[in-house]
Every structure is written in C-alpha cells, then in structure tokens.
Copies of this chain bind each other. A is one copy, B any other.
Amino acid sequence: MSLAPRDVRTHIATSDTTSITVRGYDLVNELMGKYSFTEVLYLLIKDRLPSREEARVLDACLVTLMEHGWTPTSLITRLAHDSAPGQVQIAIAAGLLAVGDVFAGTMEGCGRLLEGAAASSDPAAFLRQTVEAHRAAKKPMPGFGHPFHKPDDPRPPRLFRVAEECGLANRFVPLLKDLSAELDRQAGRHLTINATGAIAALLLEIGIPPVIMRGIAVVSRSGGLAGHIVEEEETRAARQIWRMAEEGIPYEPPPGAPKR
C-alpha cells in the first residue's frame, strides 16, 4: 500500500513546554497583542504578515460576508443551537456547512476566471471568449447577478473603492470591470457584479488564491453565526421557525398511500 510519500513536514506551528511557534514567529512575544486576527489569518495563509493596506483589504472582504440576516446558514445555526445548547461549536459548524456551492462556489469560479485572464497574452480576447462560452452553454457567469440586489449589488463599488484607496486595484479589479463591460455588451443588458465576484478580485489583488477563497467566506461567516447564537439565547427564534414549518408546509398523504 502506498498512500503517501513518507517524508511529510508541516510549516505551520509547533510548541514546546515554554513556547509556541506559528509560521516561524514566537506566538506569545511576536504575535499576541501586536497583530490583529486578520493579520495573523493572512500570515497563516500566505506565510508572511500583510502590509497595512493588504490587511485593510482583507478586513473589508471579511466584514462584507459576515452577516446577511436570514439565510440558510443563520437558520441552521439557530435550529442547531436550540437542540444542543451549550455546544456552540455544533451550531456554528452546522451553519457553516451551508457555505456551499450555491452561495460560495461562485467566488472560486470567478477567481479562477480572473486568474486565467491575467495569465493570458490577450486578456480582452480571453474575457470575450469566456463570456461567449458561458452564454452558449447558458451557464451563469460566476460573480455576476443577485436575486435581491437589483439592478446593482451595493457592495462591489465600496470594495473597489477600498482597494483603490489602498493602491491594490491594479490588475484583477480592472479585469473584473472589463469582464462586466463585456458581459453587458454581449447580453445587451446590465448584470450586476455581486459581492462574491468583487471579493474574488480583491483577494487576488492581495495574493490569496482561489483554492482558499471559500475558506475566507467560512471564517467571515463564523463571526456572524456567533452573533446569531447570542440573539438565539434571548429570543428562541428556532421554535418560531419550527412552528412556521409545521403550519406552512403541511403534510398530505402520498398519492398511493393506504387510505385512512
């Protein structure tokens, strides 16, 4: 059986009786109290501390996705907390499981597309052909469109502005805007860039690759779900959700069921 090469190392962390080392830094003396959660998150992903501007862009992305009111993630966390009080990790983990392909998958898809454009010798042609291919296959373009925020998602312009203020809107933000213009041109109508599309561009600007973009969304949303648990302790909305389901989605015998 040959499952893996035998010589595997980790660069992340180690500890001994008197110290903890994280990515080469002394956790206690070099990180705690000196850097923010967001800065150490960047360190853990990129193997270096961010500049002030990179940290601000990452914070803006994290803050964007923390909370959006009632969504599958917050509904699940509320319901799970009601069944397992005192085990907060259950409620948060259950909610995070809904950061799935439908709501987070587009970030990665948009990120890969922008990477492809940036690597192309003719980005304009790359974008044009990408839009053509998606339209021919009747596939939605990742990073575009929103069910509620119409005609425009209010978050992307703000995210672009933050990146610009930080001097970090140099390559992928312009490409996303070009993609948007090309999409509108071919569609003959305006489709909004959505928050996941804009975040994909900003994360690429600070060097965070598509493979972990959904992880950024997960970290961000974990904070929002902590807030839902605090409120659930007071309001017990879970019981209301349950009752509404009982009343609003009634049972009806299956067509071929025994009659009684």
Contact = CB atoms under 8 A, between A and B. Distances in A.
Contacts of A130: none
Contacts of A3: 147, 239-240, 242-243, 246
Q: Interface size class for chain A?
A: 35 or more
Interface of A: 1, 3-6, 8-33, 35-38, 40-41, 44-45, 47-48, 56, 59-60, 62-64, 66-76, 79-80, 82-90, 92-94, 96-104, 108, 147-150, 152, 154-155, 158-159, 161-162, 165, 211-212, 214-220, 222-231, 233, 235-246, 248-254, 256-258, 260
A35 to B, nearest CB: 6
24 contacts: A1-B147, A9-B249, A9-B252, A10-B249, A17-B150, A27-B63, A32-B63, A32-B64, A33-B60, A33-B165, A37-B38, A37-B59, A44-B66, A44-B227, A45-B227, A47-B256, A48-B256, A72-B83, A72-B238, A80-B100, A84-B98, A88-B211, A90-B97, A244-B244
Nearest to A69: B13
B251 A218 contact: no
Nearest to A236: B4
Contact of A75 (B8, B211, B241): B241
Given A67-B13, A67-B27, A212 B226 contact: yes
Contacts of A93: 93-94, 96-97, 218
Contacts of A63: 27, 31-33, 35-37, 40
A154 B24 CA distance: 17
A233 to B, nearest CB: 6
Given A36-B38, A88-B211, 12 more contacts: A1-B147, A13-B68, A19-B154, A27-B63, A33-B56, A44-B223, A73-B83, A84-B102, A219-B219, A237-B245, A241-B249, A244-B248
Nearest to A59: B36
A33 B8 CA distance: 39
B226 A219 contact: yes
Given A36-B38, A37-B220, A235 B89 contact: no
B47 A240 contact: no
A178 B67 CA distance: 39
A98 to B, nearest CB: 4
A40 B13 contact: no
